[in-house]
Structures are given as C-alpha cells and as structure tokens.
Amino acid sequence: MPIINVQMFEGRTPEQKRAFVKALTDASVETLGCSPDAVDVILTEVKKSDWATAGKLWSDAK
C-alpha cells in the first residue's frame, strides 16, 4: 500500500486538492499496479512563515 505524504504551502482550494490527490492516486495505480483503495495520500499544509529555503523564510520573499 503506497502512502504518499505531500507538504505544500497552504491556500489551495478543495477542488485543487481533490484533483491533485486523484492524479496522485491514478498515477500510483497505473505505475504500481495497485488498486485505488490501496493508495493513501496525506496532505500537510504549511504556512510560508514555517518554511525556509537557502536560509530564508518564504514569507519574507518579495
């Protein structure tokens, strides 16, 4: 059973999330040959103030 953990910035709509998890599930079924019921997707939304790249918070980006 694949478990897919995705961390992303907050702010996506429920429709975007639905489409995203469907695409991940479909890709897993096609690539791994598993059933859709075997695929779990966990979305974790992170504030830009809690994420940094190259020593800089994303909330500080201009």
Partnered with residue 56 across adjacent β-strands are: 53
What would the pLDDT profile of 7-59 be if each residue is shown by its tens digit?
999 999 999 999 999 999 999 999 999 999 999 999 999 999 999 999 999 99
Statement: residue 62 has pLDDT above 80: no
**pLDDT at residue 48, rounded to an integer:** 97
Tokens of 54: 């190259």
**Residue 25, exposed/middle/buried by CB under 10 A (0-12, 13-18, 19+)?**
buried
- For the entire predicted model, the pTM comes to 0.89
| Known active-site residue 2 | yes
DSSP label at 40?
Answer: E
- Which pLDDT value is given to residue 61? 84
Superfamily of domain 3-60: Macrophage Migration Inhibitory Factor (3.30.429.10)
Comparing CA positions, the residue from 47, 52, 46 lying closest to residue 7 is 46
What are the respective helix, strand and coil percentages of the chain, to the nearest 5?
A: 45, 30, 25
Active-site pick, 1, 2, 5, 61: 2
